[in-house]
Amino acid sequence: MLLGAVLLALASVSSGAVLPQTDKITLDVYLEALCPYSFSFVNKQLGPKYEAISSFVDVRIIPYGNAKTEEKAEGGYAFTCQHGPTECEGNMWLGCGIQHSQDAAQAVNFTACLMKYPGYQSKCARDAALDFQVLDTCKNGSEGGELLHQNGVETDSLVPMKLGVPWIVFNKNWDPILQDQAQDDLKATCCKLAPKDTPACQ
């Protein structure tokens, strides 16, 4: 009986039958901690509009931007960032906050706060309901450097190569028109990509 159900399900898929819409739009945001353009996008679009798009958009934030990474001979990594060492610290704090968030909403909240209030990691952890001690251990241990390194590998592997930050990628495919539109109105851009009957877009 179970085998019959499995075969029936496979037949439905192979015959092109309409299945429940479960796929979400993916939105990957590549940014750096002290970039004014990244700040503007996060605090004018992503932060305020996240709740409105969260039901049909999976958001990932990748902090690294225009940084450079060098492997140290003794192990670990040395980072150079566009806006100096403070930005490298900020990128690492963001990486730790995102890594230890329970969901995208928490990650977005922490990111928006820390970009608005650089240096106020404990406040932003508290506001996002994150354990600051966990983030502190991450940032000041090997985990923070490894996370930033991984973000760098992903950022530097983008095709096409990013031209700046924020670099906004929908469904793993960068489009210059969508990039510009998202910076003007993120929700409207997401709704343009969503099925026409998406409730949040009505």
Record the pTM. Answer: 0.88
What domains lie within the chain, and their CATH numbers?
24-189 (3.40.30.10)
Phi, psi angle pair for 6, to nearest 5°: -65, -45
- Is residue 57 over pLDDT 90? yes
Q: pLDDT tens for residues 146-186?
A: 999 999 999 999 999 999 999 999 999 999 999 999 999 99
Among 191, 152, 157, residue whose Cα is nearest residue 31: 152
pLDDT of residue 23: 83
For 15-28, what is the HEC assignment? CCCCCCCCCCEEEE
Hey, what are 32's tokens?
């750096």
Among 137, 107, 145, residue whose Cα is nearest residue 124: 107
Hey, what are 17's tokens?
């039958």
Q: pLDDT tens for residues 28-48?
A: 999 999 999 999 999 999 999
Query: Which residue type is seen at 20?
Result: P
Relative orientation angle of helices 85-99 and 104-116, to the nearest 10 degrees: 160
